[in-house]
Amino acid sequence: MFAIDLSNKNALVMGVANHRSLSWAIARALHEAGARLCLTYAGERLKSTVEELAPQAGGAITLPCDVTDEASVQALAERLTREWGSLQVLVHGIAFANKEDLEGTFVHTSRAGFFTALDVSAYSFIHVTGKLLPLLENSGASVLTLSYLAAERAVPNYNVMGSAKAVLEQSVRQLAYELGPKNIRVNAISAGPVSTLAARGITGFLGMQKHHAEKAPLKRNVTTEEVGTAALFLLSELVSGITGEILYVDAGYHMMGA
Ligand code: NAP
């Protein structure tokens, strides 16, 4: 009675770089639940990797989409309109900041670096949701993005990405408010540190992961699979009453006080 069945649901999962990506774990969980999938990747460099993964997700459609390129976002919206005509699931697993802004001092963040991080990691969530709104409306759709605790706490070296995640989490609430009347739910998962391409770009990431594992109540790090299944839960009808929520999937680390 409580099984998650997403058969006949169309799901777009953005930000697959490789088999370690959180977006890929979410795509796999959605596939297991029966969803029809489209995976997007940032550019040509990732094309063959994502095409090789697609058969493991039911022969998912694979498309390039650079969220900083308007033509690319437009092409994605047009293709999904032609291909499916409606979208029940949208997953945004995209973030980027310049390497020099993820080390050294936050106080010296460049204006260009600040705008780049916020553009790719936060604005893109608002923009893509808006572009796909005609497909999401009247579909009982669910939208999800991926955040991190640095949205609300100071985390060494996370620097400008913490600012981007704070904007992202507020955008979740604002979108949830605005899109609720259209029966669209908007939520985020705040994941504990998982070794992915993006995470390894953060100076001192491995030390941070070790610290989380030592201090978290579960005494370990979370796995990509745990992020995938938690995402499936949030995207499913089981939580049709939840929107505007940030769900921590971090082995309990976030609620510790000392
Ligand atoms: P990932 O595999 O490196 O995924 C990040 C994705 O963002 C990559 O596919 C990357 O493509 C893509 N991207 C960057 N710029 C883009 C652009 N302009 N247009 C489209 N896509 C772009 O790393 P991940 O850890 O799974 O990250 C997914 C999300 O989870 C991010 O929002 C991240 O902040 C969040 N998160 C991760 C952790 C963690 O510990 N891993 C924890 C909490 C939250 P390229 O490789 O080409 O740049």
Domain positions in the chain are 10-251
Ligand 1 nearest-atom number relative to CA 195: 41
Ligand 1 shell residues, CB under 6 Å: 15-17, 20-23, 41-43, 46, 65-68, 93-96, 120, 146-148, 191, 193-194, 196-199
7 alpha carbon to ligand 1 midpoint, in Å? Answer: 27
Catalytic, out of 41, 158, 248, 253? 158
Q: What is the pLDDT of residue 42?
A: 95
Q: Which atom from ligand 1 is nearest to the alpha carbon of 191?
A: 43
**pLDDT tens sequence across 164-221:** 999 999 999 999 999 999 999 999 999 999 999 999 888 899 999 999 999 999 999 9
Question: Is 248 one of the annotated active-site residues of the chain?
Answer: no
CA of 68 to the centre of ligand 1 (A): 14
pLDDT digits (tens, 9 = 90+) for 22-57: 999 999 999 999 999 999 999 989 999 999 999 999
Q: Which fold has domain 10-251?
A: Rossmann fold (3.40.50)
* 1: confidence class by pLDDT, cuts 50, 70, 90: low
CA of 181 to the centre of ligand 1 (A): 30
> Which atom of ligand 1 approaches the CA of 15 most closely?
9
**Which residue is listed with tokens 């649901």?**
9
Question: Catalytic: 158?
Answer: yes
- Residue 234 sits at the vertex; the CA angle it makes with 221 and 177, to the nearest 5 degrees, is 120
- pLDDT of amino acid 202: 86
The answer to whether the CB of 164 falls within 8 A of the CB of 94 is no
Q: What pLDDT, in 10s, does the model give residues 218-230?
A: 999 999 999 999 9
Pocket residue to mutate for ligand 1, from 13, 62, 96, most atoms within 8 A of Cβ = 96
Tokens of 54: 């697609």
Query: For the segment 85-136, what is each residue's pLDDT rounded down to a tens digit?
Result: 999 999 999 999 999 999 889 999 999 999 999 999 999 999 999 999 999 9
> Which pairs with CB-CB distance under 8 Å and at least 24 residues apart come from 72-79?
73/127, 73/128, 73/131, 74/131, 76/12, 76/40, 76/131, 77/131, 77/132, 77/135
Cα–Cα separations (whole angstroms), residue 249 to 55, 73, 95, 107, 242: 28, 29, 18, 30, 16
Sign of the C-alpha dihedral computed for residues 78, 139, 47 and 188 taken in this order: positive
Catalytic residue among 41, 148, 248, 253: 148
Residue 69 confidence (pLDDT): 97
Q: Which two tokens stand for residue 241?
A: 């009453």
pTM over 0.95: yes
pLDDT score for 213: 97
